Amino acid sequence: LYHLARIHEICHNFRNSSLNFIEIGGGFGNLARIILQYDLCDQYYIVDHPAMHAVQYFFLGEFLPESEIAVTSENGKYITGNRDSKIQLYSSFSFADSLKTKTQKPFMLVSTMALTEIPTEHQNAYLDFFSPELVYIFGQLQNVALGGGKSAAGACFSNEALILSLGEKFHTIDYKF
């Protein structure tokens, strides 16, 4: 509910119309469900690992008709649902091929942990690709709890560069350390 309250405040204070949302790493889909239930968006896109789409599809199917949940394949074709479905699930491996043309409306990029848990090069790739109107990111500044702050391949999980990048590209509304 914390994230809903913050996002609700941002949407109503800085925009008078609904946005589409793109979430990087959608967990089991609860934030998408709540955002839709509170009518804060027209469509909600989740970019995630395909295995997570099974969990999201199952969970969201408890609250929405099957036709309102679109799942895309690696080549961007719809497995279920269509371009008008309220929820759009895109693979983190192939989102760039088909998602850019489908987000015509201004949108808000949301990530409540995933963006702060991936290497800097992937963080920048998402932010550069989407160029969102608003960004809501919640996460960790120093991920020392994750493998001592490094991935198995030795990539650093420090988010200092992400914080600086967000400060350069977007107007900061609020931050807490």
Q: What would the pLDDT profile of 133-161 be if each residue is shown by its tens digit?
A: 777 766 665 555 555 566 667 766 667 77
> Which residue stretches of the chain are H helix?
2-14, 30-37, 50-60, 95-98, 120-130, 160-169
Pairing of strands 69-72, 78-80: antiparallel
**Is a pLDDT exceeding 80 seen at residue 170?**
no
Q: Which token pair is 119?
A: 């290497």
Tell me the C-alpha distance between 66 and 48, whole Å: 19
Q: Per the structure block, which two tokens stand in for 167?
A: 């400060």
For residue 50, count CB atoms less than 10 angstroms from its CB and return exposed for 0-12, middle for 13-18, buried for 19 or more.
Answer: middle
User: Tell me, what's the pLDDT at 174?
Assistant: 55
Q: In this predicted structure, what is the pLDDT of residue 125?
A: 79
Q: What backbone torsions phi and psi does residue 22 show, to the nearest 5 degrees?
A: -125, 120
For residue 140, how far is the Cα from the chain centroid? 16
Task: Enter the tokens of residue 57.
Answer: 């599809």
CB atoms within 10 A of CB 47: 25
Question: Whose CA is closest to 8, among 26, 25, 31?
Answer: 31
pLDDT, tens only, 14-56:
666 667 888 888 999 998 998 898 888 889 999 998 999 999 9
pTM, entire model: 0.80
